[in-house]
Structure 1
Amino acid sequence: MRPGPAVTHLSPEEIGGNQDVLPRVARLLRPYRGKIALVLVAVLVSAALQSVVPFLVRAVFDDALFPLDGGAPRLGLLGWLVAGMCVIPVLTALIGIGQNWLTSTVGHAAMADLRGDLFAHLQRMELAFFTATKTGAIQSRLANDVAGVRTVLTDTATTIVQNTVTVTAALVAMVVLSWQLTLLTLVLMPLFVVLQLRVGRRRQRLARRTQESLSEMTAITEEALSVSGILLAKVFNRSASEVERYREANRRQTRLQVEQAMTGRTFFAVVQTFFAITPALIYLAGGWILTGSLPVGASGGADLTAGTLVAFTTLQGRLQMPLMQLMRVTLDVQTSLALFRRIFEYLDLVPAITERPDAVHLDPERLRGRVELRDVRFRYPEPRALTGGAERSRFTDGAQMPAPDPESTGDGWALDGVSLVVEPGQLAAIVGPSGSGKTTATYLVPRFYDVTEGAVLIDGHDVRDLTLSSLADAVGMVTQEPYLFHGTIRDNIAYAKPDASAAEIEKAAREANIHERIMGFPLGYDTITGERGYRLSGGEKQRLAIARVLLKDPAILILDEATSALDTETERLVQEALDRATRSRTTIAIAHRLSTIRAADVIFGLEDGRLVEQGTHEVLLAAGGLYRRLYDEQFSRPRSPDAPRDARRADVAL
């Protein structure tokens, strides 16, 4: 068997990641413009109030305690000034509480919108995307990446605005007090900005690598700790290797987290040290100015008072924290941009299966169920996976819907010129060796994939011209490995029709030969099936899946028969349920046991992606072609010694 198609790893530039991220983040906040406006008002009022405090401090020294005119302290003025200095912090604290509530509400709502949009977009992606991408990697983007940008959406925007306003107000006040001392304070700011940009770029790269490593760990956890993963590891005695695989990924994640945490620490230590010693330098510069050792212009140091120095250093203290926060939050933004790009990578993926604007809605009352494949040629597209091997599926959970066999003909076609018709109400069977295109043909009917050439028609309508919802309602499927989610039996059956009554659910279960078995459980229909239905036997899961499709009542039913691994009694029960399911509806069955399709209205034989014969059981046996070879092989009839080797080894597995 040839290997499947290679996975294409798309770069951000190839899928729209080169778009400007910040405007897209801003669009996330657009629905909350009103609350954001209130936040901005609160920020401006709070910054204005805080800017008043240094001038109150100067007035305390120069007008109340030590009047410049040499008079006695003015206690009345001092009382009013002290009262103002006490009231302002109270007001700013109250404003801060309201501001925090608004920013938290806006940020978490925007994050919920982003998570919801991402989940909805992934639901629209084609089946091929999920066969090429680890489930854990997808879960990581929904959980870890979105959580990683929480701070940006909840706090960062407000922090930037608030600290920018605070810094601006403080700088204006400092210039008013002494422009000379302001220059001394800001002399190293350009150097800090350059260093910050370099640190930010490094942290952005590290953030992406860290999230990719976390995605890999999530994928390992999802694979190895699932029921199928645990069973596989125990059967092949690979538990120790799985533990080591997780530990290695864990060690890599730890190294990246430590590296990310330490990046920029030296930079911030230098900045913090500079701000810590600046007040001492200001006092020294003040002494030089007062003694005339430092030229400051025509006015000299006449307007530099003790109150001015105290007010200026107070402003410096107020400037340090906002500037440090601005630098930190800028680095956080640069880090978060890497996470936003990872999220937007998925949002920018265009689903391969889309609905046309003028799509036709199939009327279930008029639906006859005629299925036609007309000159169909199909080649599997290269699956899309992002950011490298960590996203690729390592092994498929056995309880999931199986991916179609990627084997194709020598010229790359999985189906090559297939034309067949299934009339309304017919039971049609598809047989052929492994990799002949049986599952591929059935997956084209509900548009899990689109044909490369030709057309698939239902009642004369090209399925590409139908609405996706009406097509999904028209076609039902029972797979070889039925999927049951962790919930009650009732919920699993009702998944096909959430508003179904208890009587409808019971009727479907009776027709699927599972009602009596359900009632044998202590909790009946409220019995929990377990993860992927592992608390139930294979036959029980199969009959629940049949009950679910019977409740859906589709006009077209696709069956991937799964009776070969069942005991005789269970096979009989499942086969009886399948017989009921095929009544009064068009049925296409992938045949594994040829004995189950003798009564089929038409049998199609596929080999190497081509339709090589069709007819009834008796006609095909008499023709002595592919069907006869498969039949003889399955029922162990002797073959001529000169029969083709491949024919003697033919099987009917999927």
Structure 2
Amino acid sequence: MSVWSHFIHYYKPYRRLFFTDLFCASVVSVVDITFPQVLYFLTHGVFTQSPVEITRVLGVVAVGMLILYGIRYACQYYITTWGHIMGARMESDMRQDLFEHYQRLSFSYYDRNNTGEMMSKLVSDLFDISELAHHGPENVFICTLKIIGSFALLLFLSVKMTLILFLVTLLMIIFSIWQNRKMKAIFMDNRQKIAGVNARVQDSLSGIRVVKSFANEELERKRFDGSNLQFLDSKEGSYRIMGTFHAGNGLFQGLLYTTVLVSGGFFIAEGSLAVSDLAVYALYIGIFMNPIDVLINFTEQFQKGYAGFKRFTDTIHTVPDILEKPDALPLTPVRGNIVFQDVSFRYHQNTQVLDHVNITIAAGKTVALVGPSGGGKTTLCSLLPRFYDVSGGAVLIDGQDVRDVTLKSLRRAIGIVQQDVYLFAGTIRDNIAYGKPDATDAEIMEAAKNASIHDFIMGLDGGYDSYVGERGARLSGGQKQRIAIARVFLKNPPILILDEATSALDNESECHIQAALERLTQNRTTIVVAHRLSTIRNADEIIVITQDGIQERGSHETLLTQNGLYAKYYNIQFEGLDELENG
């Protein structure tokens, strides 16, 4: 019932539209039921009178019927137009809610789920919701009115024949329920399989440069072919069940007409039913059968919509790992004193990544984290803005536990420059302004100058309005990195995290970026994760972290004199450079 209560919740903003739609639906149903009753009135009363009287009554009936069908036209227009608009608005609300929920979910959710599947839930799964939201209550309401109304009038014409009709209808309902259970499972499988197709497409297209560089187009084709065929098998299974469902119900409808014909003929022969009554009875059978036919066809739509909405609610009800406390306070003003206090961390179902780590960073100081991959350097940095929460211990900023402050104020206080820079499809101006959406042009240009990218931008045909392409495909790695640095300059945070910010760059780009980073780190508390040890010589403290925890800590000169792990890493890097230069 939680699924249904959640679905009904989306009708609340459109209650007036919804109830007006149901009112119009009831008017349409009453008008449809009226015609056989008018015919019954004419055949049993009016047509037995004089021609003059018949003509007079027919004139009145014609005017009345025209008025009724005029009202029906207006109501049907409202149902078709505004009923669908209501459904589309509800679908839009659901899509907005799902997108906003995706924004709230923590990194661990994205670690476990594929982007293509999430896109499928956001787009494909909600396609059928609009029709379900509109036609669901309306179809059930109209069909219920028509079935009850026509059934009552059928009883009025012939109780015996109607009871026989009811038995056949009952068998039809039992068959429909049985088939409906099968359809529910197969349509849910359809959703899962098309999500798999979307995931495969997204994965392949996102990595298209890698695919082409390895000439693995055929491998990707085969992988997609597998996902595509699985979806095809699921669709074929659904069509087989639908074929049985629709053909079976068609058979029962034929049985209903056969029952009316045979039983009606029998009762006429018996003398308990007039021929004219059978004609009117046949008209009501059409009205009785029409809503049943509508419900049969609606079942497919319902199962598709329900399957999509079920997957939607499963995601909406996913509780984010990172939650803000109800009494959380803003982190302000921020000086930048950072303490990792006895911090431990493990990913879901994985081994321990950090174990009882203690680090103190004074405001305005720079601390560098070095060591082999997998030691937990990036994870440690991710705990500061609460991308993940500690498994044990605490992370403090200016003496406040980061779990006790609002997420917005916490993350606004921290600027991050990573190795893998993400640029949004749009202009250079848009991407720099992402650090401060309301920034002026002067502020954007100043940030670009500080990041040593202004001259390059002005050399482009479009200047700051130049399009960067998807993920910044039209720019080099160094250019994207400097735009990312400009973005952080514009944000102007008191705390800075540099995560392998120069490790993938050539020497010339690194020189430009290193100069920009030195300007960026001035008067900010900075944590640097680096493999290139030449970039961290001036750090106030260097901490060597391995899978066994903190191994060494101290200044560059101190660690070299200790002749430990840091000295080993340093010598390996610079002996290699010496060999290249001598070679």
TM bucket, shorter chain? over 0.9
What is the alpha-carbon distance in structure 2 between the residues aligned to residue 90 and residue 273 of structure 1? 36
What is the alpha-carbon distance in structure 2 between the residues aligned to residue 562 and residue 71 of structure 1? 98
What is the alpha-carbon distance in structure 1 between the residues aligned to residue 453 and residue 314 of structure 2? 45
1:417 is paired with a residue whose SS is strand
Paired residue type of 1:245: R
Partner of 2:319: 350
What is the alpha-carbon distance in structure 2 between the residues aligned to residue 79 and residue 311 of structure 1? 21
Partner of 1:471: 410
Tell me the CA shift for residue 51 of structure 1: 1.8
What is the alpha-carbon distance in structure 2 between the residues aligned to residue 273 and residue 577 of structure 1? 78
1:584 is paired with a residue whose SS is coil
Does 2:113 align with 1:174? no
What is the alpha-carbon distance in structure 2 between the residues aligned to residue 508 and residue 550 of structure 1? 5
Does 2:44 align with 1:77? no
Paired residue type of 2:356: G
Does 2:211 align with 1:233? yes
Partner of 1:117: 97
- Contact 2:187-2:303 at 8 Å conserved across structures: no
TM-score by length of 1: 0.85
Give a deviation string over 1:375-427, Cα, whole Å, max 9, x none: 11111124xxxxxxxxxxxxxxxxxxxxxxx8xxxxx3211111111111111
Percent identity (aligned): 36
Give a deviation string over 1:161-202, Cα, whole Å, max 9, x none: 111111111111111222222123222122111111121111
Does 2:39 align with 1:57? yes
Tell me the CA shift for residue 283 of structure 1: 4.2
What is the alpha-carbon distance in structure 1 between the residues aligned to residue 426 and residue 576 of structure 2? 46
- Contact 1:160-1:329 at 8 Å conserved across structures: no
Does 2:333 align with 1:333? no
Query: Within 5 Å, which residues of 2 pair with 1:481-520?
Result: 481-520=420-459
Give a deviation string over 1:302-337, Cα, whole Å, max 9, x none: xx3333222111111111111111233245324433
Give a deviation string over 1:420-456, Cα, whole Å, max 9, x none: 1111111111111121111111111111111111111
Partner of 2:384: 445
Partner of 2:525: 586
Tell me the CA shift for residue 23 of structure 1: 2.1
Partner of 2:580: none
What is the alpha-carbon distance in structure 1 between the residues aligned to residue 538 and residue 54 of structure 2? 111
From 460, 480, 497, give the equivalent of 2:419.
480
Tell me the CA shift for residue 270 of structure 1: 3.5
Partner of 1:562: 501
Give a deviation string over 1:583-605, Cα, whole Å, max 9, x none: 11111101211111111111111
From 283, 286, 289, give the equivalent of 1:317.
286
Tell me the CA shift for residue 532 of structure 1: 0.5
Judged with a 3 Å threshold, the aligned counterparts in structure 2 of structure 1 residues 627 and 583 are, in CA distance, closer, same or farther, namely: same
From 249, 267, 274, give the equivalent of 1:305.
274
1:263 is paired with a residue whose SS is helix
Q: Which runs of 5 or more residues in structure 1 are unaligned?
A: 1-18, 293-299, 383-405, 407-411, 639-654
Does 2:342 align with 1:375? yes
Tell me the CA shift for residue 238 of structure 1: 1.0
What is the alpha-carbon distance in structure 2 between the residues aligned to residue 330 and residue 154 of structure 1? 14
What is the alpha-carbon distance in structure 2 between the residues aligned to residue 563 and residue 247 of structure 1? 39
Structure number with higher helix proportion: 2
What is the alpha-carbon distance in structure 2 between the residues aligned to residue 20 and residue 454 of structure 1? 37
Judged with a 3 Å threshold, the aligned counterparts in structure 2 of structure 1 residues 286 and 610 are, in CA distance, closer, same or farther, namely: closer
Partner of 1:531: 470
What is the alpha-carbon distance in structure 2 between the residues aligned to residue 621 and residue 438 of structure 1? 21
Tell me the CA shift for residue 508 of structure 1: 0.2
What is the alpha-carbon distance in structure 2 between the residues aligned to residue 468 and residue 349 of structure 1? 19
Tell me the CA shift for residue 351 of structure 1: 0.5
Give a deviation string over 1:197-234, Cα, whole Å, max 9, x none: 121111111111111111011111111122xx111111
Does 2:226 align with 1:248? yes
What is the alpha-carbon distance in structure 1 between the residues aligned to residue 62 and residue 537 of structure 2? 99
Q: What count of residue pairs does the alignment treat as equivalent?
A: 577
**RCO comparison, higher one (Cα < 8 Å, 6+):** 1
Judged with a 3 Å threshold, the aligned counterparts in structure 2 of structure 1 residues 416 and 279 are, in CA distance, closer, same or farther, namely: closer
Partner of 1:648: none
Query: Within 5 Å, which residues of 2 pair with 1:383-398?
Result: none
From 544, 551, 554, give the equivalent of 1:615.
554
Tell me the CA shift for residue 286 of structure 1: 3.2
Partner of 2:269: 291
- Contact 1:474-1:556 at 8 Å conserved across structures: yes
- Contact 1:44-1:162 at 8 Å conserved across structures: yes
2:567 is paired with a residue whose SS is helix
Judged with a 3 Å threshold, the aligned counterparts in structure 2 of structure 1 residues 72 and 488 are, in CA distance, closer, same or farther, namely: closer
Partner of 1:35: 17
Partner of 1:269: 247
Give a deviation string over 1:483-525, Cα, whole Å, max 9, x none: 1011100000101111000000000000000000011110011
Paired residue type of 2:40: R
TM-score by length of 2: 0.95
2:542 is paired with a residue whose SS is strand
What is the alpha-carbon distance in structure 2 between the residues aligned to residue 438 and residue 573 of structure 1? 25
1:264 is paired with a residue whose SS is helix
Give a deviation string over 1:595-620, Cα, whole Å, max 9, x none: 11111111111122511221111111
Query: Within 5 Å, which residues of 2 pair with 1:78-227?
Result: 78-226=58-206
What is the alpha-carbon distance in structure 1 between the residues aligned to residue 387 and residue 504 of structure 2? 27
Judged with a 3 Å threshold, the aligned counterparts in structure 2 of structure 1 residues 338 and 285 are, in CA distance, closer, same or farther, namely: same
